[in-house]
C-alpha cells in the first residue's frame, strides 16, 4: 500500500484522492471539464468504477454487465468499469488511468452513440 | 451362490499381518473384498474406505484357527525364527477347509523396491509434496509422485468432479460429485497405501494463513491451479518461506504449455509478467464457471460467447507438461542424494520451460519436425532463464516499482487534457 500511495502522491495532488474504508476515491476531470469520482477497491484484483450510476446515450443505467460498454454489475452505488487484467505489479494509479480513459470513451459515446467497445477494443 | 475357489487369487497385506502379530489379540475379524467373477479376493484386517466387490468375513488367527463359520476366509499367521508363515483357507458352506495360496501386498519398505537405484525411495517416502489444484494437471502429478514413492501429500482443491472433467482427469464416472481431494486421496493410496494424505477442500485465496502454515511444512509445492490470483498468492508465500514451487499451465486448446520453477533467490511468478513468451500465451480455458470466477471470461460475456471460448485440449497434450512438472519435482526432492536421476540436476536448470504440441497460433512459425535442425519445433522442451525483476513487488519489495501505466495513453492515441486536479474537491 505504501508503494501505491507513493505513486499516487507523485502523480496527483493531495486533494485529488483519499482512502475511505476499503476504497480509494480519486477525482477525475475529463477533457470536457466534467468531474467524476473514481472508486477503486483496496484488495487483490480490485474492482473499480465511478461513484454514480451513469446513463448511456439512450438514458439506460450503466449498472449491469455490458460487453459493449465495458461495464460490470454495479458496486458501491455506482457504475463498475471493466478495466482489464490485473497483476500485483499493477498500481492503483494505473487502474485510475484506465478508468479515466473509459470516462473519455463514455463521453464520446454520449456524443456519437458509438459503444465504448468501438473505441476501446482492448484494455491491456 | 456356492463360492468357487478354484484358482482363486488371494492377496493379504504384509504390513497388516505384522501389525496383527505385534498386537496382543489372538484372533481378529477382518474384511474380504472379492472382485466377483474374476476369482480375485483381497483380505484385510481393516475395512477399506471405498470398498469394492462382494464382502466376506475374514478371521485372522495367530496359529491354527478353531473357528468354522461357513462361507468365510481364514488367515492363520505365525512368526517363526523371524519369518512370517501364512496359511489361507476358505471354509465352504459344508464346513470344509479349502487351502488357498497367499500373495502379499508388500510392506512399506518393499513397496517401491523396484524403483531403488533410480530413485532414492527411502528419501522420497519422507518427503512432503503440497499440490494445489487437483484438476487435469494436479491429479496426474499427485499420482505420479505417489508412484515414485513420495510419502506425504497435502492436497488443496475445493472443486468436485464434474462431467466435463472426465476427459482429462484421473477421476472416473463413479467419482462424479465427489470432492477432488477425496478422489485423489484414494488414487494415491491405491498406489501407496502407506502414503499420508492431508486434504484441504478450500479456496486458498480465502485461507492464506493456513496456506502459509502448511507450505512451511512442505518440501515441494506444485501449483496446478487455473488462475493467476492463486498463483500470485502461492508465489508470494514461496518467496517468504524460501521454498521451491513448480507452476504449470496449458495454453489455448493445449496447443502447448509452459512450466516455471520458482527457486529461492530466483525470479518469482510475478517476475514472469514481463516475459515475452509467457505474456503472449493465452491460458487454456477449460470450464466457463471457473473461468468466470477467475476473471478469464468477463462477467459481461454471454453464455453462448463464453462457451465458444472454452477450448479444451487433449489429455495427451497436457501429459508432457505434467510429466515435466513431475520430473522437476523428483529432481528437487532427490537433490543431494545419490540417485539415478541425479544427473538431471545438471539438465533441468532453467527457470522457464516451453512445450508446443502443434504448430498453431504462436507456434505457427515454428519449423516442422522433420528437418527442423536447430530451429524450434514441436514436441521438444525448450528451457530459458528468466531475469528477476529488480522492482518486483513480490520478490524485491524494498525496490518495488509498480506499473504506473506509462505509455497507456499513447497506446490509445487519445489526448488527455485537464490533468491538473489541484482545484477539485473530493466529497
Mean pLDDT, to the nearest integer, of B22-42? 93
Q: Which CATH superfamily is domain B113-399 in?
A: NAD(P)-binding Rossmann-like Domain (3.40.50.720)
Confidence (pLDDT) at A122: 47
C-alpha cell at B51: 470398498
Confidence (pLDDT) at A123: 44
- String of b and e for B113-124 (b: at least 16 CB within 10 Å)? eebeeebbbebb
Q: What confidence category does residue B406 fall into, taking pLDDT thresholds of 50, 70 and 90?
A: confident
Interface of B with A in 208-267 (CB under 8 A): 228-229, 232-233, 236
Q: Give per-residue pLDDT as tens, B362-385.
A: 888 899 999 888 899 999 999 999
pTM: 0.83
From the list B298, B393, B418, the residue facing A88 with the nearest CB is: B393
In a domain, A124, yes or no: no
- The top-scoring range by mean pLDDT among B6-10, B58-62, B80-84 is B58-62
Tally of domains in chain A: 1
- Look up the domain containing A14 and give its range: 2-119
From the list B273, B417, B421, the residue facing A16 with the nearest CB is: B421
Q: What confidence category does residue B409 fall into, taking pLDDT thresholds of 50, 70 and 90?
A: confident
User: Contact A101/B412, CB-based, under 8 Å?
Assistant: yes
Query: CATH for B9-105, among 3.40.50.1000, 3.40.140.10, 3.20.20.60, 3.40.50.10490?
Result: 3.40.140.10
In a domain, A115, yes or no: yes
In a domain, A48, yes or no: yes
* Mean pLDDT per 10-residue section of chain A, whose length is 124 residues: 87 89 92 93 92 94 89 93 88 93 93 87 48
Confidence (pLDDT) at B1: 57
Residue A31 with chain B: CB contacts under 8 Å: 415-418
**Separation of alpha carbons B165 and B209, rounded Å:** 29
Q: Which of A14, A41, A89, A95 has the highest number of chain B CBs within 10 A, making it the mutation to test binding with B? A: A89
Confidence (pLDDT) at B242: 96
The residues near B309 (Cβ < 8 Å, ≥ 6 apart) are B285, B288, B291, B297, B301
**Cα end-to-end distance, chain B, whole Å:** 84
Residue A18 with chain B: CB contacts under 8 Å: 426
ipTM of the complex model: 0.86
The least confident of B11-20, B146-155, B415-424 is B415-424
Mean pLDDT, to the nearest integer, of B198-227? 96
A42/B contact by beta carbon, under 8 A: no
Confidence (pLDDT) at B422: 78
The chain A residue lying nearest B421, using CA atoms, is: A16
Residue B279 with chain A: CB contacts under 8 Å: none
Confidence (pLDDT) at B208: 96
Q: Which of B304, B415, B420, B424 has the highest number of chain A CBs within 10 A, making it the mutation to test binding with A? A: B424
SS3 B401: coil
Among B319, B315, B321, B245, which residue's Cα sits nearest to residue B281?
B321
CATH 3.40.50.720 placement within chain B? 113-399
The answer to whether the Cα torsion of A47, A53, A57, A58 is positive or negative is positive
CATH 3.40.140.10 placement within chain B? 9-105
B349/A contact by beta carbon, under 8 A: no
- Cβ contact B53:B34 at 8 Å: yes
Q: Is residue B360 scored above 80 in pLDDT? A: yes
Amino acid at each position: 500500500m505504501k508503494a501505491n500511495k507513493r505513486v499516487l502522491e507523485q502523480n496527483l495532488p493531495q486533494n485529488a484522492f483519499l482512502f475511505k474504508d476499503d476504497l480509494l476515491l480519486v477525482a477525475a476531470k475529463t477533457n470536457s471539464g466534467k468531474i467524476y469520482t473514481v472508486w477503486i477497491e483496496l484488495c487483490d484484483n480490485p474492482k473499480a468504477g465511478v461513484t454514480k450510476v451513469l446513463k448511456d446515450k439512450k438514458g439506460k443505467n450503466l449498472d449491469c454487465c455490458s460487453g459493449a460498454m465495458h461495464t460490470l454489475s454495479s458496486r458501491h452505488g455506482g457504475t463498475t468499469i471493466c478495466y482489464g487484467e490485473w497483476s500485483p505489479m499493477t498500481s492503483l494509479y494505473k487502474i485510475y488511468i484506465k478508468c479515466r480513459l473509459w470516462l473519455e470513451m463514455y463521453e464520446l459515446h454520449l456524443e456519437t452513440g458509438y459503444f465504448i467497445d468501438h473505441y476501446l477494443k482492448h484494455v491491456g | 451362490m456356492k463360492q468357487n475357489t478354484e484358482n482363486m487369487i488371494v492377496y493379504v497385506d504384509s504390513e497388516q499381518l505384522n501389525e496383527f502379530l505385534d498386537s496382543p489379540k489372538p484372533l481378529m475379524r477382518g474384511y474380504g473384498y472379492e472382485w466377483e467373477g474374476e476369482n480375485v479376493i483381497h483380505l484385510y484386517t481393516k475395512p477399506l474406505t471405498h470398498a469394492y466387490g462382494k464382502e466376506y468375513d475374514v478371521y485372522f488367527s495367530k496359529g491354527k484357527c478353531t473357528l468354522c463359520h461357513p462361507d468365510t476366509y481364514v488367515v492363520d499367521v505365525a512368526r517363526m525364527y523371524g519369518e512370517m508363515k501364512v496359511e489361507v483357507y476358505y471354509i465352504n458352506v459344508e464346513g470344509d477347509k479349502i487351502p488357498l495360496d497367499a500373495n502379499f501386498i508388500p510392506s512399506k519398505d518393499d513397496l517401491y523396491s523396484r524403483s531403488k537405484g533410480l530413485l532414492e525411495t527411502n528419501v522420497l517416502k519422507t518427503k512432503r509434496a503440497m499440490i494445489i489444484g487437483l484438476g487435469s494437471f494436479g491429479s496426474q502429478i499427485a499420482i505420479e509422485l505417489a508412484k515414485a514413492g513420495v510419502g506425504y501429500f497435502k492436497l488443496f482443491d475445493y472443486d468436485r468432479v464434474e462431467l466435463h472433467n472426465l476427459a482429462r482427469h484421473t477421476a472416473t464416472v463413479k467419482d462424479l460429485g465427489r470432492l477432488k481431494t477425496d478422489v485423489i486421496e484414494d488414487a494415491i493410496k491405491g498406489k501407496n497405501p502407506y502414503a499420508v494424505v492431508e486434504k484441504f477442500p478450500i479456496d486458498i485465496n480465502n485461507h492464506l494463513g493456513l496456506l502459509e502454515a502448511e507450505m512451511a511444512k512442505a518440501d515441494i509445492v506444485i501449483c496446478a491451479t487455473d488462475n493467476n490470483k492463486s498463483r500470485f498468492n502461492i508465489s508470494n508465500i514461496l518467496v517468504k518461506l524460501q521454498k521451491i514451487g513448480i507452476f504449470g499451465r496449458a495454453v489455448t486448446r493445449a496447443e502447448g504449455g509452459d512450466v516455471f520453477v520458482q527457486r529461492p533467490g530466483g525470479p518469482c511468478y510475478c517476475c514472469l509478467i514481463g516475459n515475452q513468451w509467457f505474456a503472449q500465451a493465452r491460458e487454456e480455458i477449460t470450464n466457463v464457471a471457473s473461468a468466470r470466477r477467475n476473471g478469464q471470461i468477463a462477467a459481461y460475456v454471454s453464455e453462448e460467447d463464453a462457451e465458444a471460448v472454452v477450448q479444451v485440449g487433449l489429455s495427451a497434450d497436457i501429459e508432457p507438461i505434467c510429466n515435466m512438472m513431475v520430473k522437476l519435482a523428483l529432481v528437487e526432492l532427490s537433490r543431494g542424494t545419490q540417485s539415478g536421476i541425479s544427473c538431471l540436476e545438471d539438465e533441468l536448470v532453467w527457470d522457464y520451460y516451453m512445450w508446443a504440441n502443434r504448430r498453431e497460433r504462436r507456434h505457427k512459425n515454428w519449423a516442422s519436425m522433420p528437418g527442423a535442425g536447430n530451429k524450434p519445433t514441436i514436441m521438444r522442451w525448450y528451457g530459458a532463464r528468466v531475469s528477476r525483476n529488480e522492482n518486483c513487488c513480490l520478490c524485491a519489495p524494498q525496490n518495488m516499482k509498480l506499473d504506473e501505466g506509462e505509455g497507456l495513453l499513447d497506446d490509445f492515441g487519445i489526448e488527455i487534457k485537464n490533468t491538473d486536479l489541484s482545484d477539485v474537491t473530493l466529497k
